[in-house]
Amino acid sequence: MPRVCVTGAHGLLGSALVPYLQSRGYDVIIAPGRPRTAESVDLLQSAHAQRVLDAVRPDFIVNLAALTDVDYCETHPDEAYRVNAGLVLNLVQWIESASSPARLIQISTDQVYEGEGPHVEARICPTNFYGYSKCLAEEYVRRVAGTSLRTNFFGRSAATGRKSFSDWIVAAIRAQQSITVFDDVFFSPLALPTLVQSIELVMRKPKGGVFNLGSSGGMSKANFAFQMAEAAGLPTTYFTRASVASRSLVARRPRDMRMNSQAFAAEFDAPEFGLTDEIDRVARGYRDADR
């Protein structure tokens, strides 16, 4: 039975990935940590990381730990580096020093892109420190022929106190709150269940490299919000379309994060996932929860 060490196991993605892997027969070990900045904050210290991983001796390390508040990262670059890149370096150094065959899977981000999409993997242009720190992490992962997955996701959260983008949309509508949605920010996220299954696909067929892992096509966040509401059987009257330029934000945001994920599909013999189908998949869960 493969042993998998998961960092950031209590976050949005980890709360879905851990039980899924357990149901598939993996021996899942949750890395220790505190919830302030990253679920695996103990691993920020190299000596701690060495001791933890020496004891676990995993076949796979799936790193989900990250500091994802983009504005916070911009004003706290040292902390953003330590959590988003330094932790990864500690994992890589353990694999190197222990001569471990463990395969490292790093969850990266679509925030490394800028300009007109859909983007291919080689065309990176991070516009904020969050994206830059994730790019550095990818470079560390290359040292051990690990796999970095650039992704964005949505879906019903099982993590206490954490909401996904789609959770936020649905909760606001149910509370009859006005929502501003951006017409000029584009992305190509995956449904959370699809992402979880895709991570296991990488584990079954490990392949080093950096891969986009998103839905085909993509759309603006405004159109996403409207489609999600309609698919979940909820009103769209609370939405107001706007430009992200109208907002005062600390960190610059990329406008077009749509990704071309054909390399992942080809390498891992995976289907391409249409965003409308992904929205419908998640919306069924919100509808069922209302019954």
- What one-letter code names the amino acid at 150? R
Q: How far apart are CA 211 and CA 122, in angstroms?
A: 10
**Which has the closest alpha carbon to 147: 138, 158, 135?**
138
| The model's pTM | 0.95
Cβ-contact 159, 11 below 8 angstroms: yes
DSSP letters, 215-268, are -BS-EEHHHHHHHHHHHTT---TTEEEE-GGGS--SS---SB--B--HHHHHHT
User: Does the pLDDT of residue 41 top 60, yes or no?
Assistant: no
The band of 35, judged by pLDDT with boundaries at 50, 70 and 90, is: very low
**pLDDT at res. 120:** 98
Q: Which CATH class is domain 3-163+190-214+258-275?
A: alpha beta
Whether the pLDDT of residue 245 is over 90: the answer is: no
Give tens-digit pLDDT for 268-291: 999 999 999 999 999 999 987 766
Give 209's pLDDT tier (boundaries 50, 70, 90): very high
The per-residue pLDDT for range 116-172, each reduced to its tens digit, is 999 999 999 999 999 999 999 999 999 999 999 999 999 999 998 899 999 999 999
- Asked whether the beta carbons of 8 and 40 are under 8 A apart, the reply is yes
Cα 50 to Cα 94, 95, 129, 148: the distances in Å are: 6, 9, 27, 22
Average pLDDT of 166-187? Answer: 96
Give residue 133's pLDDT.
98
* 8 A C-beta contact, residue 121 and residue 108: no
pLDDT at 39: 47
For residue 212, the cross-strand partners are: 150
What is the identity of the amino acid at 118?
P
